[in-house]
Amino acid sequence: MAEPKYYCITSGKGGVGKTCLAVNLAFALAHQGRRVLLVDGDLGLANVDVLLDLEVGVTIWDILDRGIEPEAALISVHPRLDVLPASSGVPEMANLGSNDQGLLQEMLRGLATPYQYVILDTAAGLGSAVLWFNSISDLSLVVTTTDPTALTDAYALIKVLTQSHHGCCFEVVLNGVQDDKEARATFETLAAAAHRFLGLNLELLGAVPDDPAVKKAVRKQMPFLQSAPQSKAAQAVIKLADRLQGLSFPETGPTSTPGLRGQSLGHKASDTNLI
C-alpha cells in the first residue's frame, strides 16, 4: 500500500479558517472515495471536535501522557474518515518538546497506515508544534484571508518554515474572498514577496469565498459540505480536494528532500513592510 500523504493546514494569523477548511477538505476527500485521517494538531486549543459536535474520550494528550492506545482515540465520522482529537486547555501541548514529537511521529506513522491522506489542522503562529507538524508533512497549505495582517503573517510563517528547514513545499489557500479576481490579486502580492526575498515560487491551490453557509454550518456544528453541499464554499472546497489529488510529489519524502527550501535567493533587500 502506498504511503499516506500528509497535508498540513496552517497559518500565521489565527481565525483565518484553517479548521473549517481542514474539516471540509477531509470530508471532500472522503466523499471522493479516499480514506482520510483528520488530526487535530491544535494541541492545546482543539476545535475539530467542536466543528463536528464530537464526544471526545481519549485525546492525543492522553496517548502521549498516559500511554493509552492510539486506536482508542479515533472517532469515525464517515465510512472513510476518522478523526484523531486533541485536548483543549492543555498549554504544555502547544509547545511540543522533542521527546513528545518523536512519540507523536511514531504514533502517527502506525495509525496512518490504512489511510491515503492525513489532514493536519494546526494552531496559528510559529509555535514549536506548528513548525513540527509542517516539517513532517508532504505539503503545507498556508491559509490566509485577504486581510493585510493575515497576509503579512502568512509570509512570516513561510519565511520561518523555509529558513528553519521546517517546510518543504507550500501551496496557498485564500479564504473568505469576494471573487477570484480578489483572490488572484492578493495571492500575487504574497507570491511576489516570497519570490523576491525567499526565492520561492508559490502556487495558489485555490480560493474559498466568504459564504454565510460557512458560519451557519459552524453554528450547527456540521461540515458545510453536508449542511450546504451546493454552497459556493462547498463547491470551492471540492475543487481544492480535486486539485490536491492531482498534485505530484518528489520521489523522496519531505524530510530528505530540500524541496523549495533549496531555492533561497538570499536577502539582498529588506523584507519589512512588504505587503
CB contact at 8 A, 164 and 131: yes
Which residues in 228-247 contact ligand ATP (CB under 6 A)? Answer: 233
How many angstroms separate the CA atoms of 241 and 239, rounded? 5
Binding status of residue 87 toward Mg ion by CB under 5 A: no
Instruction: Work out how close the CB of 149 gets to ligand ATP at its nearest, in angstroms, rounded to a whole number.
Output: 13
How many Cβ atoms from other residues are within 10 Å of residue 58's Cβ? Answer: 19
**Residue 190 touches which of ligand ATP, Mg ion, none (Cβ within 5-8 Å per kind):** none
Q: Which amino acid appears at position 30 of this protein?
A: A
Which residue in 241, 239, 179, 240 sits closest to 211, CA to CA? 179
CA dihedral 95→14→267→264, nearest 10 degrees, is 80
Is residue 20 left, alpha or beta, with left meaning phi > 0 and alpha meaning psi from -120 to 50? alpha
Site size toward ligand ATP, by CB under 6 A: 20
Identify which of residues 191 and 214 has a Cβ nearer to ligand ATP in the complex: 214
Which residues in 47-76 contact ligand ATP (CB under 6 A)? Answer: 47
**Residue 116 touches which of Mg ion, ligand ATP, none (Cβ within 5-8 Å per kind):** none
Which residues in 77-136 contact ligand ATP (CB under 6 A)? Answer: 124
User: Grid coordinates in use for 94?
Assistant: 502547544
Tell me which residue has cell 486549543.
45
Which residues in 12-41 contact Mg ion (CB under 5 A)? Answer: 18-19
Binding status of residue 16 toward ligand ATP by CB under 6 A: yes
Binding status of residue 47 toward Mg ion by CB under 5 A: yes
Using CB under 5 A, list all residues that contact Mg ion. Answer: 18-19, 47
Where does this chain bind ligand ATP (CB under 6 A)? 11, 14-20, 42, 47, 124, 175-176, 208, 210-211, 214-215, 218, 233
